[in-house]
Amino acid sequence: MQLPASRYRILCLVGRGQFGRVYVARHRVSGRLVALKELDQIRFPTNKFLRELRFLLSLRHPNIVACEALEHTRTGRYLVMDYCEGGTLRALVQEDVRLSLPVVLNLTCEVLVGLKQAHQQGIIHCDIKPENILLNLSPTSWTARISDFGIARLGQELEAATRSGVGRSRTVEDSSQGNTGSPAYMAPERFYGEFSVCSDLYAVGIMLYEMLLGRRPFSGMPAELMSAHLNQPVELPLSLDEPLREVLHTALQKLPARRFKSAEQMLVALRECTVRLKQAALPQLETGVPLVPRQLLAPLDLTSSRAEQWQQQPLRLPLTALQVIAPASDTPLLCWAAKTQVGWRSLTSLFEFEPAFSCSQLTEQPDSSKTESSLERIPVVDLHAEVRSLHLSSQGCYATTQEGVYQVQPWAACRPLIEKQQDLVGALDPDGRWLAVASRQVLTLLSPLSGRLIRQLSLPESTYLPSLNVLDRHHLAIVCGGEQSQIQVLSRRGNCMEKFDLPMPITQAVTGRVPYHLLAASPREPKTLLLIDLKAFQVRRLFLGYLPTLLQSTPWGYIAAGARQTLTLLDPVGQIVGNLTLAGQPTAVIAHGPHHLLVATWAGTQGRLYYLDLSRLELELLF
């Protein structure tokens, strides 16, 4: 009999489990995102497959990854599971930042709540470790969910082994297949094939220790780990607060009888620990952020000792946008926006003249003692509304104001494409074939050359202005919403390809060097950024330390800036590689070439335009 086609459309490979690959997929009818867990018939035989399926179908709890269905198609067998866009706890604890104490305590409590449900069903997981704790995004943190019950055991199996007098419940299958768990997290009795609910609680204790201290209590090869778990006492440093040491001391006892008797008992102890820590008014509990840096990079101060090394020009008006036209030519132009005006200046001679760089002076005759080409005498265009952004394509430069979109060219008349609208944002295909313009209610796609309307779409009700991002020549990502956000991936014809929901508001986002990645900021999380993979729909939080008012992509990564006088440089995966201190708040920035930056700042009534060569700084960047 021919097997049916899959009800799910696979989007991306997201990982490899113990018994096969794991994909993110979307239901062809409902559009719901799921994880498809492939079950290799050799590594995961039918009896083992039916065993895990039995466990999963009996467990329904917010802190346990649920199995929705069994998918058996021409391409193989799959378990259809809940999809967790936050990845694994292992990926989180391996970051260069550590989890804040409130998040550590909350995630551990959620794991215990999930274990409580499993234990009440008579199921002992036997392989609790960070790799098997999946994460869903919550508005300011994560929700922990237990996964992978592939080697779980039933409590009645222990009772049967005890009644038979064997005293050990390791099966022949375990011995031959090696399916006994992960030595780094195994309780001492597990090395002898014995198990109980206390074995799972020991593993939770190891995870808690690791999240608090950044390392496990024991390390080494499997034989060394076994010896340590059996014989070596766990050292609890005095740097840990007493309530935490008490919980870990009980959870990590060698003898099961001396540990917590149930997940409920450990949960109560951990919650009491949290109350005691709050009563002590510990500063660690008042961070307000889910992530804390392990080590802060010292900023490079470009305002004092290094100031003379950098080309800079005083400004008399704050610049809101910058673009470099014809950057590879001998005469590149800097296109700038300030309030309602757009102008141009020769980049090669920008820093050769003494007068401050301002809108008014660009239209004045320069000092006769200095020679200046016609490029310095390009007139300024006034668009009569605040300019929000400049967009560059092979067809020219386009300016988006609050009320319209205009093609602006040196020495040419300004050509309006859209006028007399309200609260507009725009994005332009680099080839100049299509332009996207959005208000709070409507998305308009049009041809910038002819002005021809391609399509107009209604948008979900949005509290914030949408963020438009061109992903490639054919696709656009639009982020809109209020307290919750939705990301829509559209074709250049306006057809919706994908939709993703986020539990927090997004006020700005930019595309990155890695295809189909967005770096986004949320006012709900004033000290973190979100790095979003639109192919696999995976979301990582990145520690920044302040709420960014400016995000910009570059050939080598990203730039972020906030209300203070700091410019933060990030590599393509979101790792901070440098902080620069400037004379004022950055208001506009653009990359020029592989390692140069133009940065406009403003402080009070004056500003500066910097031209920085990043290759002269000690940064861990590949240009």
CA distance 451 to 435: 9
438 strand-pairing partners: 425, 443
Looking up tokens 């939709």 gives 499
One-letter-per-residue 3-state SS of 117-171? HHHHCCEECCCCCHHHEEEEECCCCEEEEECCCCCCEEHHHHHHHHHHCCCCCCC
**Cβ pair 503, 139 in contact under 8 A:** yes
The amino acid at 427 = A
Sheet strands side by side (includes 67-73): 8-17, 20-27, 33-38, 76-82, 67-73
Answer whether CATH 1.10.510.10 is correct for domain 98-293: yes
Q: What is the model's pLDDT at position 157? A: 57
CB atoms near residue 466 (< 10 Å): 27
Q: What is the model's pLDDT at position 180? A: 62
Q: What digits encode the pLDDT tens for the residues 277-319?
A: 887 666 565 555 677 766 666 677 776 655 556 788 888 889 9
Q: Domain 300-616: which topology? A: Methylamine Dehydrogenase; Chain H (2.130.10)
In this structure, the strands spanning 321-325 and 333-338 are: antiparallel
| Three-class DSSP category at 289 | coil
| Three-class DSSP category at 307 | helix
**Cβ pair 621, 576 in contact under 8 A:** no
457: exposed, middle or buried (Cβ count in 10 Å: 0-12, 13-18, 19+): middle
Which of 303, 152, 327 is closest to 608 using CA atoms? 303
Fill in the DSSP letter of residue 233. P
**Cβ pair 390, 333 in contact under 8 A:** no
Q: What digits encode the pLDDT tens for the residues 542-576?
A: 989 889 999 999 999 999 998 888 899 999 999 89
pLDDT interval class at 47 (50, 70, 90): low
Q: Which residue has the higher pLDDT, 149 or 470?
A: 470
Q: What digits encode the pLDDT tens for the residues 177-205?
A: 345 678 999 999 999 989 899 999 999 99
Q: Where are the beta strands (DSSP E) in 387-484?
A: 387-393, 396-401, 405-408, 415-418, 425-428, 435-438, 442-446, 453-458, 467-470, 475-481
Q: What digits encode the pLDDT tens for the residues 419-462?
A: 888 888 999 988 888 999 998 888 999 998 888 889 999 888 77
CB atoms near residue 3 (< 10 Å): 10
Q: Which residue has the higher pLDDT, 529 or 48?
A: 529
pLDDT interval class at 206 (50, 70, 90): very high
Q: What is the mean pLDDT of the chain?
A: 84
End-to-end Cα separation, the chain, in angstroms: 56
Q: Structure pTM?
A: 0.88
Q: What digits encode the pLDDT tens for the residues 119-135?
A: 999 899 989 999 999 99
Please report which residue ranges of 214-298 form alpha helices under DSSP H. Answer: 222-231, 242-251, 263-279
DSSP string, 167-220: -----HHHHHHT-S--GGG--GGGGGT---HHHHHHHHHHHHHHHHHSS-S--S
CA distance 27 to 66: 16
Looking up tokens 């680099």 gives 430
One-letter-per-residue 3-state SS of 370-405? CCCCHHHHCCCEECCCCEEEEEEECCEEEEEECCCE
Q: Among 3.20.19.10, 3.30.200.20, 3.50.50.60, 3.30.470.10, what is the CATH number of 8-82? A: 3.30.200.20
The amino acid at 307 = A
Q: Give the Cα-Cα-Cα angle 404, 405, 406 (nearest 5 degrees).
A: 120
Fill in the DSSP letter of residue 88. B
Name the residue ranges covered by the structural domains of the chain: 8-82, 98-293, 300-616
Please give the C-alpha separations between residue 497 and each of 22, 101, 122, 489, 491, in angstroms, as whole numbers.
22, 39, 43, 5, 7
CA distance 236 to 242: 10
DSSP string, 322-359: EEEESTTSSS-EEEEEETTEEEEEESTTTTS--S-B-H
The contacts of residue 311 (CB under 8 Å, 6+ apart) are 351, 610, 611
In this structure, the strands spanning 475-481 and 485-491 are: antiparallel
Q: Which residue has the higher pLDDT, 532 or 345?
A: 532
Q: What is the model's pLDDT at position 565? A: 87
Torsions phi, psi of 178, nearest 5? 75, 20
**Cβ pair 515, 471 in contact under 8 A:** yes
Tokens of 121: 């069903």
Q: What digits encode the pLDDT tens for the residues 103-123?
A: 999 999 999 999 999 999 989
CA distance 475 to 275: 50
